[in-house]
Amino acid sequence: MKESGRKLGALSPCAACKLLRRRCAQDCVFAPYFPADEPQKFASVHKVFGASNVNKMLQELPEHQRSDAVSSMVYEANARVRDPVYGCVGAISSLQRQIDSLQTQLALAQAEVVHMRVRQFTSSSNYPGAMDMAVDQATMGESLWSC
Amino acid sequence: MKESGRKLGALSPCAACKLLRRRCAQDCVFAPYFPADEPQKFASVHKVFGASNVNKMLQELPEHQRSDAVSSMVYEANARVRDPVYGCVGAISSLQRQIDSLQTQLALAQAEVVHMRVRQFTSSSNYPGAMDMAVDQATMGESLWSC
């Protein structure tokens, strides 16, 4: 949490009060999170959520959670400014596609390992039941990866 | 895009106009996306973004993109209502952690396959250069997965 802007008190209004052209009070709810030297942070959340909604959301949270809430709102607002149609939901869809692809690749690699273990074990063993043991050993290995 | 609410015209205001207690005009920007029978959709975006910001964001988009923009705003608003600190940025962090874990598991599985191919090839070959060929063959297989 940046409090540097606050130290100067009424002499230096925070970025929010500066943009809203209002007096920055000693107990301004925005000041600890929107220092005067980072005007873009407040400009984005103001454009997307509106100053009054940001104020309300911060007031409804305990102080120790406000800094994280501001960071996530700034992230969300910047994503919406960059992509007005999908905002950060676009990032969620892209990450979900990446997860689907990784899960497919992992399933293929794990199947390949099971297949190779079975082949390796059966080619080096001639006694009955070797195939069952090989499959057990291969799937034990597989369950270790998922830990 | 749901237009059913619109068919009834002034007789049935859309969910937005109903909540804002205003007359629902024939060309209301909200009506096609916020039908009267789904009041929660507008309530969420109104609470998080504010009606005036939603109006502005829709007006700034061509009509064919507005339905997707409303869906993503409703998703984002619901996430923020459920989790006022992290909103849908919480989902992004969780998906990113899942990707890190899948990438680690995939790297382990691929390393295991390479190791097994090398062992298999060298145990069945005694001529010089068998190791290089085995590694080439193993990494060729690995590059196939990443396609």
DSSP codes joined into one string, A59-81: HTS-HHHHHHHHHHHHHHHHHHH
Q: What tokens were used for B44? A: 């969420």
Question: Would A52 be classed as within a structural domain?
Answer: yes
ipTM greater than cut 0.85: no
Inter-chain contact A61–B85, Cβ cutoff 8 Å? yes
Q: What tokens were used for B88? A: 């849908």
Separation in Å, CA of A56 to nearest CA in chain B: 10
A9 dihedral zone (left: phi>0; alpha: psi -120 to 50; beta): left
Residue B70 to residue B36: CA distance in whole angstroms: 15
Q: Whose structure tokens read 């290995």?
A: A141
Average pLDDT over residues B141-147: 46
Which pLDDT does position A134 carry in this prediction?
Answer: 54
- In this structure, are B58 and B19 located in the same domain? yes
- In this structure, are B28 and B60 located in the same domain? yes
- In this structure, are B75 and B94 located in the same domain? no
* Residue pairs between chains A and B whose CB atoms are closer than 8 Å: 121
Question: Would B54 be classed as within a structural domain?
Answer: yes
Please give the residue of chain B at the shortest CA–CA distance from A113: B113
Separation in Å, CA of A106 to nearest CA in chain B: 5
Please give the residue of chain B at the shortest CA–CA distance from A76: B89
- In this structure, are B62 and B96 located in the same domain? no
Which pLDDT does position B4 carry in this prediction?
Answer: 44
Question: Would A97 be classed as within a structural domain?
Answer: yes
Q: What tokens were used for B67? A: 């339905």
The answer to whether residues B15 and B39 touch, using CB atoms and an 8 Å cutoff, is yes
Residues in chain B: 147
Question: Would A129 be classed as within a structural domain?
Answer: no
**Helix orientation angle between B87-124 and B130-145, rounded to the nearest 10 degrees:** 150
**Cα dist. B114→A45, A101, A103, B138, B144 in Å?**
49, 21, 19, 5, 13
Amino acid identity of B23? R
- In this structure, are A76 and A110 located in the same domain? no
Question: Would A109 be classed as within a structural domain?
Answer: yes
pLDDT, one tens digit per residue, over B39-76 is 999 999 999 999 999 999 999 999 999 999 999 999 99
> To probe the interface with A, which of B58, B92, B103, B123 has the most A CB atoms within 10 Å?
B92
Q: Which of A133-137, A141-145, B19-23 has the highest mean pLDDT?
A: B19-23
- In this structure, are A77 and A16 located in the same domain? yes
Does the pLDDT value for residue A147 go beyond 50?
no
Which pLDDT does position A9 carry in this prediction?
Answer: 46
Residue A68 to residue A73: CA distance in whole angstroms: 9
Please state which of the ranges B6-10, B22-26, B40-44, B103-107 shows the lowest mean pLDDT.
B6-10
Residues in chain A with CB shorter than 8 Å from the CB of B110 are 109
Q: Domain total for chain B? A: 2
Q: Which of A2-16, A29-43, A127-141, B6-20 has the highest mean pLDDT?
A: A29-43
Which pLDDT does position B133 carry in this prediction?
Answer: 57
Residue B54, domain extent: 11-82
* Listed residue (B61, B29, B73) closest to B14, CA to CA: B29
- In this structure, are A96 and A77 located in the same domain? no
End-of-domain residue from the set A57, A82, A107: A82
Which pLDDT does position B119 carry in this prediction?
Answer: 84
Average pLDDT over residues A2-20: 70
Count CB-CB contacts under 10 A for residue A91: 21
- In this structure, are A111 and A48 located in the same domain? no
Helix/strand/coil for A129:
coil
- In this structure, are B76 and B21 located in the same domain? yes
Inter-chain contact A92–B87, Cβ cutoff 8 Å? no
Does the pLDDT value for residue B141 go beyond 90?
no
Mean pLDDT of chain B: 85
- In this structure, are A31 and A72 located in the same domain? yes
Does the pLDDT value for residue A100 go beyond 50?
yes
Question: Would A33 be classed as within a structural domain?
Answer: yes
Residues in chain B with CB shorter than 8 Å from the CB of A60 are 84
Question: Would B129 be classed as within a structural domain?
Answer: no
End-of-domain residue from the set B82, B98, B113: B82
Residue A99 CA to its chain's centroid (Å):
14
The answer to whether residues B56 and B73 touch, using CB atoms and an 8 Å cutoff, is no
Question: Would B5 be classed as within a structural domain?
Answer: no
